[in-house]
Amino acid sequence: MINEETKRKQIDLLVEEFWKLGYLTVSRKFGTYLPEPQYVGKYSVDIVARYNKNYAIGLALNDDELHKSDIMEEIIYLSSRKTKFTNKKVMLFLGVEPEHFQKMRILISSLEGNVRKNIKLFNLSEKQISTRHLSRYQTRLFVS
């Protein structure tokens, strides 16, 4: 069973991916100031974000969630969502740990084309700052 701190870190990494693509977070799990996202159908989502008038749903999938029997049903259902009034497609952002990235890529490639093109897959690994860059930042921040 995965603990809350690990799940929070995964969601934080997925939020960073949303931000890199210009999306603003509307709601997210474990957020301090943002509300928790509502269920989409019968499925719980981790993040809801928007870019201009385009919306996206985010799921940070851990080991337990990847081995659920209905994970592909959930992915197909969430990737085929449309907005209520404008009927625009809602993108599905999936974040997975590095050891499951290739497996998830293969599973997504087996889906239908119109479902597959609505999914973006992200590798949720923490970026390490090299010691060269770290020492440069430290000298700037702590100058006497």
Domain limits, the chain:
4-141
Using a 10 angstrom Cβ sphere, with 0-12 exposed, 13-18 middle and 19 or more buried, the burial of residue 120 is middle
Q: Supply the pLDDT for residue 59.
A: 92
Is residue 60 within 8 A of residue 46, CB to CB? The reply is yes
> What is the CA 8 to chain-centroid distance, rounded?
11
pLDDT band at 93 (very low <50, low <70, confident <90, very high): very high
Q: What is the pLDDT of residues 63-89, one digit of tens each?
A: 888 888 888 899 999 988 888 888 889
Q: CATH number of the domain at 4-141, out of 1.10.1760, 3.40.50, 3.40.1350, 1.10.3470?
A: 3.40.1350
Q: What is the pLDDT of residues 16-54, one digit of tens each?
A: 999 999 999 999 898 888 888 888 888 889 999 999 989
Tell me the whole-structure pTM to 2 decimals.
Answer: 0.80
